[in-house]
Amino acid sequence: MTQKHLFLLLLSLCCSFPIVAQEALWDNTAIISPQINPDHSVTFRVPAHKAWKVELTGDFLPPSTVNTPDGPQPAPGRVEMNEEQFGIWTYTTQPLEPELYSYFLRIDGQPALDLSNVYVNRDVSTLANIFIITHAKGDRGSLYSVNEVPHGNLEHVWYDSPTLKMQRRMTIYTPPGYDKGRRYPVLYLLHGAGGDEEAWITLGRTTQILDNLIAEGKAKPMIVVMPNGNMDSQAAPGAWSKGMYKPDFQRSLTPYKPVATMDESFPDIVKYVESHYKVVADKQHRAVCGLSMGGGHSFAIANRYPQMFDYIGLFSAAMRIGGAYQTDSFYNKLTASNDICQQIDRLFAAHPKLYWIGIGRDDFLYEVNKDYRRYLDEKGYKYTYVETDGGHIWRNWRIYLTTFAQLIFN
Amino acid sequence: MTQKHLFLLLLSLCCSFPIVAQEALWDNTAIISPQINPDHSVTFRVPAHKAWKVELTGDFLPPSTVNTPDGPQPAPGRVEMNEEQFGIWTYTTQPLEPELYSYFLRIDGQPALDLSNVYVNRDVSTLANIFIITHAKGDRGSLYSVNEVPHGNLEHVWYDSPTLKMQRRMTIYTPPGYDKGRRYPVLYLLHGAGGDEEAWITLGRTTQILDNLIAEGKAKPMIVVMPNGNMDSQAAPGAWSKGMYKPDFQRSLTPYKPVATMDESFPDIVKYVESHYKVVADKQHRAVCGLSMGGGHSFAIANRYPQMFDYIGLFSAAMRIGGAYQTDSFYNKLTASNDICQQIDRLFAAHPKLYWIGIGRDDFLYEVNKDYRRYLDEKGYKYTYVETDGGHIWRNWRIYLTTFAQLIFN
């Protein structure tokens, strides 16, 4: 044993938790899971020596169906793993297409993470392991990976929102070379319900997508501002004074009653960004887009401030009329709302350079967005429409960001 | 069902993973774990309806002992949980002192996280749940919590290291009010072996400690720079082009052969910080400290650049002589090394305002640090010494940072 090895052994004996892993029958440090194979299949290995059944659930498996109070619903695929060696459960997928994938385990029915894989994303209150499949430079997996390219910086920033009467947190990406002095356009990128100012970074891979698109010359260098769209919170769970609460779609536990909407309070964000960052502060150099609730926020913000943005993107947008999210009859409700129709008239009279709508064919908001397109078509308002496979999922939102980011500031 | 509830139901049905939790026998969303009780005891609840045995391992339980090839070694405490309701395993601790605590589960012997608690820290390759106990404002738990105080910003920054011939990533805290224009002193805060530029933020709670100490007027507003101390890496696992590899103390898989040491390459960091941030660039306004390997880095950096820092902190320092970490006979090896002795002479001839040494009584580096103090005592070199309970653990390093941060820049 060399002196270095002795030192490392002593160190690992002193760290509180590694020792417990080492004490286990199964030396966790020797297990590689997931293992990405040369043919782009993936092998998972889970130590569970007393388990009767170990299952793998992941968005790379053929979808399954679950029963709910509202009838059968599609669910992520789920397969049984095999106990190939005693106590080590294994499963190897088919070769996978380039993508960022999520998964978790069920050990005797109990949800569990693959603890051999330290890469874990939180989606609202659910943790899942992730991995990325890349076949070749420039494919989707490569775009979501950290590559040997110049990197932008990422900042967690606190700003004052006089409209909401609180300090709030947002995440800001500045492109490579930002310190060299020139001024940049700004993309405001909004998250969905249950998300926060970290969602586009962790689940959305925004840093990697922008770094890679900029390096390939496919997107203009830009600042990306990711605010928190929950008017009853200062920041992501755990990042503000409410402490380590359990995230929830409902969020009924927060001490704040919202005193303004996202669109009403949005100028606080723009004001902070334009006074603290090297930006070009005009309509041609501002874009706003968002997913789901954030798509609805983008809709409302663009409507309220028709002179603010030349680029507007609605990703699987959940739009509100009269304060309520619309899940059906959107065309009728929209045409019955004079205020919003007039706002849309004013917005298109200001000739935005791009009004972009993207949605998945299986999205529960598909009909709402179809109704909205019918309205825009009847008015003769120009927009770009992209329809993809799949539903209301991050895979689509990463694709929409990748597409939208290449179309703006040109 | 209100329209809002319908929308939220549809949304949750569309999100890939929450649906799987909802499909379970046990509605995970209804389980609160950990629950912090009014008497500061903590109740854990784990759904595991087919398990024979569920155990809880945490640093708040009385320590246990495990057998290793080197004999019995202390290990974190471990208790069996009770199946109080069918399928829900429960354990309630004694009332706990203010602290940030870590834990994980063993379900039928298999390590698992408490998935009702989304707050998870990574320590090298091990994930563990965390929670914080606070009794009153100003106690240790409060100091590690996000409170309703002005918040500093946190930035992940890429800089060029010509000495190491690579782009590298570091984390930089700027204090509340940084945007108002004045210049600040800088603390360089270094991690240990197996750590990276994120360790002091996640495990060390640096953002919270600094925000709170500054708000209470106990520490001077300062910039804190947390570089990556692994000369064979650009950044934390997953944050650079090596991809999502499994972290390891040995790190034998990295593509870089180190071409310089941390102390040799350190001026690259100082140069970037002093040219990009509003700092006072003199000895009186620079401090360096670090834990374990980072304590050794602080030792070596202070020795190499005696005119750079007025404040030097060694936290459970692992010091090197002739390239090797010392675990015994440090006094003899140090006195036999003319080079290092001369460096130390030059350093103390420059009269640093504070040379601070902290270590736990059970630390495996206790004797090495005792030998070093013997050497300093014989030379008559002034230092401040703090000895705490416990060993080579983050609990101590958070305490040392809290103490050291209040002593510098006064």
The complex's ipTM?
0.94
Contact: B249, A8; criterion CB under 8 Å: yes
Instruction: Let me know: does B360 contact B393? Beta carbons within 8 Å.
Output: yes
Which chain A residues touch B10 with a CB distance below 8 Å? 327, 364
Assess whether pLDDT exceeds 80 at residue B11.
no
Mean pLDDT of A78-107: 95
* Percent of chain B whose predicted confidence (pLDDT) is above 70: 92
Which chain B residues touch A153 with a CB distance below 8 Å? 155-158
Rounded Cα gap, residues A273 and A108, in angstroms: 50
Contact: A249, B102; criterion CB under 8 Å: no
Q: What is the pLDDT of residue B254?
A: 74
Please name which of B111, B118, B77, B115 lies closest in space to residue B96, comparing C-alpha atoms: B77
Please name which of B409, B126, B298, B258 lies closest in space to residue A115, comparing C-alpha atoms: B126
Please write the tens of the pLDDT for every residue from A13-53. Answer: 555 444 333 333 335 567 999 999 999 999 999 999 889 99
Residue to substitute from A12, A15, A108, A278, interface B, most B β-carbons within 10 A: A15
Contact: A21, B126; criterion CB under 8 Å: yes
Residue to substitute from B1, B6, B15, interface A, most A β-carbons within 10 A: B15
Q: In angstroms, what separates the C-alpha of B315 from chain A's closest C-alpha? A: 14
Assess whether pLDDT exceeds 90 at residue B222.
yes
Q: What is the pLDDT of residue A180?
A: 94
Mean pLDDT of B350-378: 97
Please write the tens of the pLDDT for every residue from A252-301. Answer: 567 788 999 999 999 999 999 999 999 999 999 999 999 999 999 999 99
Instruction: Let me know: does B277 contact B285? Beta carbons within 8 Å.
Output: no
Closest residue to B249, CB basis, from A12, A122, A292:
A12
- In sequence order, the 6+-apart residues with CB closer than 8 A to the CB of A54 are A46, A48, A80, A81, A83, A89, A105, A106, A107, A108
Contact: B156, A155; criterion CB under 8 Å: yes
Q: A159 is written with which tokens? A: 């700003």
Contact: B23, A126; criterion CB under 8 Å: no
User: Higher confidence at residue B170 or residue B246?
Assistant: B170
Mean pLDDT of B264-288: 98
* Percent of chain B whose predicted confidence (pLDDT) is above 90: 82
Which chain A residues touch B29 with a CB distance below 8 Å? 125, 248
Closest residue to B19, CB basis, from A75, A109, A194:
A75
Q: What is the pLDDT of residue B323?
A: 83
Contact: B20, A176; criterion CB under 8 Å: no
Which chain A residues touch B193 with a CB distance below 8 Å? 8, 11
Band of pLDDT at residue A381, cut at 50, 70 and 90: very high
Contact: A111, B28; criterion CB under 8 Å: yes
- What are residue A223's DSSP bridge partners? A186
Q: What is the pLDDT of residue B19?
A: 38
Q: In angstroms, what separates the C-alpha of B262 from chain A's closest C-alpha? A: 17
Q: What is the pLDDT of residue B324?
A: 86
- Nearest residue of A to residue B251 by CA position? A8
- Nearest residue of B to residue A17 by CA position? B126
Instruction: Let me know: does B246 contact B254? Beta carbons within 8 Å.
Output: no
Q: What φ, ψ does residue B331 adopt, rounded to 5°?
A: -60, -45
Q: What is the pLDDT of residue A23?
A: 36
Assess whether pLDDT exceeds 80 at residue B227.
yes
Band of pLDDT at residue A4, cut at 50, 70 and 90: low
Please write the tens of the pLDDT for every residue from A338-380. Answer: 999 999 999 999 999 999 999 999 999 999 999 999 999 999 9
Q: What is the pLDDT of residue B251?
A: 55
Q: What is the pLDDT of residue A5?
A: 64
Mean pLDDT of B146-150: 98
∠ CA A173-A175-A178, nearest 5°, is 110
Assess whether pLDDT exceeds 80 at residue A92.
yes
Assess whether pLDDT exceeds 70 at residue A222.
yes
Q: What is the pLDDT of residue B24?
A: 37
Query: How much is the mean pLDDT over chain B?
Result: 92
Q: What is the pLDDT of residue A20?
A: 38
Range with the poorest average pLDDT among A327-331, B24-28, B198-202: B24-28
Contact: A146, B243; criterion CB under 8 Å: yes
